[in-house]
Amino acid sequence: MATRPPLELPCWGRLREHHAAVVRRHLRELFTEDPQRARDLTFEAAGWRVDLSKHRITRDTIQLLVQLAEQCGLAARREAMFRGERINTTEFRPVLHIALRLPRSRSLIVGDQDVVPQVHQVLDRMADFATRVRLGAWKGFTGKRIRNIVNIGIGGSDLGPAMVYEALQFHADQNLRVRYVSNVDGSDLTLALRDLDPAATLFVVCSKTFTTLETMTNARSAREWLISQLGSESAIARHFVAVSTNQAAVREFGIAPENMFVFWDWVGGRYSVDSAIGLSVMIAIGPDAFREFLAGFHAMDEHFRSAPLQRNVPVLLGLLAVWYVNFFGCQTWAVVPYEHCLRRLPSYLQQLVMESNGKSVTLQGEAVSYATAPVVWGEPGTNGQHSFFQLLHQGTVLVPCDFIGFCEAQTPLQHHHDLLIANMLAQAEALAFGRTAEEVAARGVTAGLVPHRTFQGNRPSTILMAPKLTPRSLGALIALYEHAVFTQGVIWNINSFDQWGVELGKELADRIAPELGTNEEVQHDASTTQWILYYRERRARDGRAGKPPARAN
Ligand code: F6P
C-alpha cells in the first residue's frame, strides 16, 4: 500500500522528466522511428485486442509507469482486494465484486464464510425465477403472462442493467419489453408505464440500500398504479420483486422475502451489475447467457490478477489515465463506442470512473496535491463525429479517446458495419497523424484556407476490439474498466470504493422537499431561500399545492 503520496515517489520525478521529452514528440515520428510500434503496443486480454500504439508514449513510458505502479504497491493492493481484505477503509468493507463472477468450483473465504456458495445460491434463485418468467410459468395476479419488465433503480442500480440490456438486445427475448425507470421526475415513470398492461407487468425494484429517494418514490408510485389498476393489494406479490442488501426495508415496503434477491455490502453500487442487480438482464437474455456474461468478467479478472504489469491491459489503461491526467494535464476522457447497442456505455463509465475516483482526499485523509479522475464523456460513433469531433481534431484541449468496436456485425447489414468500422479506424488515424499544412497545400487548397484545414494530429486514442458483442465480451469489457479504475485509485492513493461526495446534496434535498409544500420559514442561503419562495408561490398560484412531498427515508 502506498504510504507516500505518488508525487514523492522516485518514479514520479523520472516520469516528469520523461514527459518533458515525450511531449515534444509527434506520433508521426514515433511511428516512423519504430516499425514494430503498432505490433508491440497492441495487447490481448480475455478476447479483447487493445491497441495503445496511438498514445503519446514510448516503451520507456510503459516501463516508468509500471515502476510507478510497483512503487505504489499495486500488486499488494490488488491481492488485498482479491483476498477480501477491507480495502474500502471508510466504509470498513471488503471490495468483492470479483467474487460475483467466481465459478462455482472456487472458494473465497471472507471472515469465516465462503462467499462463493452464497453467490451461486442467489444466481440459482435468479435463474429459476428468470426461467419461470421467460416461459410464462410465473403469472401475474390475474393469470396473465408477464410481458413487461420495469426495473426501478438509480445509479448503479440502473445504469448497469440498463446499459447491459441495451448492449445485449440482440440476445434478448423479443417477447419481453424491458424498461428502466430511474429519475424522480414523474415523467420517467409515467412514460414508462403509459402503454403497459399492468396485468402483464413485473416491477424489479433495485436498490442496494432500499432507501434511495428516487427509487423509493418511483417504487411507491408504481405500487399505487398497480393496485389502482388491478384493484387489490394482493397483486403486489405477483408483480413486484426486489433486489437489495436491506431485507428489513424490502419487507417493510411489502415485498415478501421469497420475492427478494439479495446481494452484499461488499458489492459497490457501480460494481453491481453482475450481482442480483442484473436480474432484469437475466430475465431478458436468459440464465445461460447471463452466466456467459459473468464468465467474461471472470476471464478479465484472471488476466488482471496474473498478467505481468507491463502486459496487463487494465493496468496499462489505468496507468495511461494517470499519464494524461497528471503529466499532460488532461481533464476529460472520451469514450466512443462504434456500436449502437453500447450507446449507454459512456454514462455507465461516467459513474464507474467519476464516482470511484472523483476524490480529493487520500486514503490517509489528507488533501491530494495532484489531479484525480478525469471527466468521462462520450457518444456512440459515428454520431459523435458530426457533433463534438471537431473539437477533438482541432480544438485547444487534448482529449484522449477510447474507440470500441467489434469485428462482426450484429445484423446482416454488413456494408453498414464496414462503414462503421472504417469510420472508427479513420478517426483514430486522423487524430494521431493529422494533416500538415504542406499536405493541405499540396492538395490545392488556397493559402487562406490552409490553416483552417490543417490537422495537427498527435491526439491520442485507444482502439479496443473484440470479435463480437456478446454477453462474454461485454462482461470482459466492463471488468477491464473496473480494474483500470482500481489501478488509478491505487496510484492516486484514494479510496475508489466510497462515494461520500453524493451525501450532502441528498441531505439538503431531503430537507428542502417538505419545505416546498409548506409556508414555514426556511433557513438557507439567500439564493436557495429565494428559489424555495419563488417555487412555493408558483406552486400555490397554479393550484398545485397538494400534499407536501414525503421525506426520502
Ligand atoms: O447516490 C449515489 C449512489 O449511492 C450510488 O453509489 C448508487 O449506485 C446509487 O446511489 C443507488 O443506490 P441504491 O442502490 O442504494 O439505491
Q: How many other CB atoms are there within 10 angstroms of residue 236's CB atom?
A: 19
In 3-state terms, what secondary structure has residue 149?
A: strand
359 noted as active-site residue: no
Among candidate residues 343, 334, 372, the one with its CA nearest the CA of residue 356: 372
Q: Which three cell numbers stand for residue 260?
A: 427478494
Q: Is 157 in the pocket of ligand 1 (CB under 6 A)?
A: yes
Q: Which atom of ligand 1 is nearest to the CA of 154?
A: 11
Question: What does the radius of gyration of the chain's CA atoms come to, in whole angstroms?
Answer: 25
Cα–Cα distance, 282 to 289 (Å, whole number): 8
pLDDT (tens place) for every residue of the chain, 553 residues total: 446 789 999 999 999 999 999 999 999 999 999 999 999 999 999 999 999 999 999 999 999 999 999 999 999 999 999 999 999 999 999 999 999 999 999 999 998 899 999 999 999 999 999 999 999 999 999 999 999 999 999 999 999 999 999 999 999 999 999 999 999 999 999 999 999 999 999 999 999 999 999 999 999 999 999 999 999 999 999 999 999 999 999 999 999 999 999 999 999 999 999 999 999 999 999 999 999 999 999 999 999 999 999 999 999 999 999 999 999 999 999 999 999 999 999 999 999 999 999 999 999 999 999 999 999 999 999 999 999 999 999 999 999 999 999 999 999 999 999 999 999 999 999 999 999 999 999 999 999 999 999 999 999 999 999 999 999 999 999 999 999 999 999 999 999 999 999 999 999 999 999 999 999 999 999 999 999 999 999 999 887 766 555 444 3
Residue nearest to atom 6 of ligand 1 (CA): 269
The pLDDT value given to residue 542: 80
Which of the following is catalytic: 386, 429, 468, 537? 386
Q: Which three cell numbers stand for residue 3?
A: 504510504
**What percentage of the chain's residues is helix, strand, coil (to nearest 5)?**
55, 10, 35
Cα–Cα distance, 428 to 418 (Å, whole number): 16
Cα–Cα distance, 376 to 324 (Å, whole number): 13
Please identify which residue in the block is written with the cell numbers 477503509.
89
Contact 150, 222 (CB under 8 A): yes
Q: Is 317 in the pocket of ligand 1 (CB under 6 A)?
A: no
Among candidate residues 483, 58, 464, the one with its CA nearest the CA of residue 306: 483
Residue nearest to atom 1 of ligand 1 (CA): 502
Among candidate residues 92, 278, 269, the one with its CA nearest the CA of residue 172: 278
Q: Is 155 in the pocket of ligand 1 (CB under 6 A)?
A: yes
In 3-state terms, what secondary structure has residue 439?
A: helix
Choosing from 274, 279, 356, 502 the residue with most ligand 1 atoms within 8 A of its CB, the one to mutate for a pocket test is 502
Cα–Cα distance, 305 to 299 (Å, whole number): 10
Cα dist from 70 to 8, 39, 52, 319, 482, whole Å: 14, 25, 20, 11, 19
Q: How many other CB atoms are there within 10 angstroms of residue 176's CB atom?
A: 18
Ligand 1 mean position, distance from CA 269 (Å): 6
- Per DSSP, which regions of 449-525 are E strands? 461-466
In 3-state terms, what secondary structure has residue 358?
A: coil
Please identify which residue in the block is written with the cell numbers 459523435.
384
In 3-state terms, what secondary structure has residue 107?
A: coil
CB contact set of 262 (below 8 Å; sequence gap of 6+): 122, 243, 244, 245, 247, 276
Among candidate residues 7, 50, 14, the one with its CA nearest the CA of residue 315: 50
Choosing from 499, 503, 506 the residue with most ligand 1 atoms within 8 A of its CB, the one to mutate for a pocket test is 499
Among candidate residues 245, 241, 183, 184, the one with its CA nearest the CA of residue 209: 245
Q: Which atom of ligand 1 is nearest to the CA of 502?
A: 1
Q: Is 384 in the pocket of ligand 1 (CB under 6 A)?
A: no
Cα dist from 280 to 201, 250, 258, 458, 463, whole Å: 12, 18, 17, 43, 30
* List of long-range contacts for 526-534, beta carbons under 8 Å, 24+ apart: none
483 noted as active-site residue: no
Cα–Cα distance, 85 to 94 (Å, whole number): 5
Which of the following is catalytic: 355, 379, 482, 515? 355
Between helix 471-492 and helix 59-71 the angle, nearest 10°, is 70
Q: What is the reported pTM?
A: 0.96
Cα–Cα distance, 354 to 362 (Å, whole number): 16
Q: Is 269 in the pocket of ligand 1 (CB under 6 A)?
A: yes
Ligand 1 mean position, distance from CA 499 (Å): 9
Strand partners, 455: 435
User: Which strand ranges, in their side-by-side order, compose the sheet holding 332-337?
Assistant: 42-45, 48-51, 461-466, 401-406, 332-337, 375-377
- Per DSSP, which regions of 196-303 are E strands? 201-206, 240-244, 260-262
Q: Is 161 in the pocket of ligand 1 (CB under 6 A)?
A: no
Q: Which three cell numbers stand for residue 291?
A: 452466466
468 noted as active-site residue: no
Q: Is 489 in the pocket of ligand 1 (CB under 6 A)?
A: no
Ligand 1 mean position, distance from CA 181 (Å): 14
Q: Which atom of ligand 1 is nearest to the CA of 209?
A: 15
Q: Which atom of ligand 1 is nearest to the CA of 277?
A: 14
The pLDDT value given to residue 541: 87
Q: Is 215 in the pocket of ligand 1 (CB under 6 A)?
A: yes
Ligand 1 mean position, distance from CA 158 (Å): 9
Ligand 1 mean position, distance from CA 155 (Å): 5
Please identify which residue in the block is written with the cell numbers 490545392.
444
The pLDDT value given to residue 4: 72
CB contact set of 450 (below 8 Å; sequence gap of 6+): 437, 440, 441
Ligand 1 mean position, distance from CA 209 (Å): 8
Ligand 1 mean position, distance from CA 183 (Å): 13
Strand partners, 45: 48
Please identify which residue in the block is written with the cell numbers 419489453.
177
Ligand 1 mean position, distance from CA 473 (Å): 26
Q: Which three cell numbers stand for residue 386?
A: 458530426
Please identify which residue in the block is written with the cell numbers 472508427.
424
